[in-house]
Amino acid sequence: MRIVVGTVLLSLLPVCVRAEEAVRPFTGEVDVAYLRSTGSSNKETFKGRLDTQYVNGSWTHQFKAEGTNESDNDTGLRTSERYLALEKSSWNFTPRDYLFVKSQYEKDQQTDYDYQALLAAGYGRKVIKTDTMLLNIDAGAGTRYSKDDITGKTDDEAVGNLALKYEWTFRPGGRLTEDASMDAGETSTVVRTRTALVFDLTDVIGLTVAYETKNDDGPSEIEDTLTTVGLNYRFK
């Protein structure tokens, strides 16, 4: 009898493990890339990115932070510096529809501002949600605060906000992700995109090839692109 009970419990164990894995309220990933150029230019570039998500009932909380630093080893000066942090809380009122509130802070050395901050709210929909593909689209409005780097004066303006998140697992251990956002106001429209290919090397570590852009048609007139190859670590 004991043998029979033990056999039944062992047979149920994989099912319990799968159910436990399916919950996973907290997920996230970290990307790290390092570039160095020598010769006519002697520069080092470091790129770090953190993207986490916590699900609690009908609520989903996302936190994202990233930073880019480029230094000229010949002069000892930092030639480029950019930091961005975003927090987004979504209330899912149907399996596919949600309302969100998000805040964003960015400090970019190439702009005329000490920092820019955004507070927005709106509606989002999970347009595609399958085992291998995800597509979320957000639309909202809010206020953008900009602090002038020279005068220290802070201005605010109304902005419209659009965002897209796409993920496609095209093969076991391989996925394509696309993140895009647009903040449109009276003084400028800022468009950011990130396209990345991730190939798993182990269960939690992968190789990432990413292409990022930032376009700002305001006073700073930024048209930046960055291509990186680095490592990806996923929280399990």
**Per-10-residue mean pLDDT, the chain, length 236:** 42 43 80 79 85 96 93 75 95 97 93 92 97 97 93 93 97 96 94 97 95 89 89 90
pLDDT of residue 22: 55
CA distance 46 to 178: 21
| Alpha carbon distance 133, 170 (integer Å) | 8
Please check whether residue 59 is in contact with residue 28, taking contact to mean a CB–CB distance below 8 angstroms: no
Burial group, residue 208, by CB count within 10 angstroms (0-12, 13-18, 19+): buried
CB distance 173 to 203 below 8 Å: no
Query: Both tokens of residue 228?
Result: 């990186």
Which amino acid, 146? S
Scan for tokens 């979320």, then name that residue: 136
pLDDT at residue 208, as a whole number: 96
**Which pLDDT does position 111 carry in this prediction?**
85
Q: What is the set of domains in the chain, with CATH numbers?
A: 25-235 (2.40.160.40)
The H helix count followed by the E strand count for the chain is 1, 12
Task: Compute the radius of gyration of the chain from its Cα atoms.
Answer: 21
Cα gap 74→69, rounded to integer Å = 16
Whether 185 contacts 158, CB under 8 Å: yes
For position 66, what pLDDT does the model report? 95
Degrees, nearest 5: CA angle 14-53-198: 75
Cβ–Cβ under 8 Å, residues 165 and 178: yes
pLDDT at position 39, please?
66
How many angstroms separate the CA atoms of 2 and 191, rounded?
65
Q: What is the pTM of this model?
A: 0.84
Query: Which residue shows structure tokens 């209330």?
Result: 91
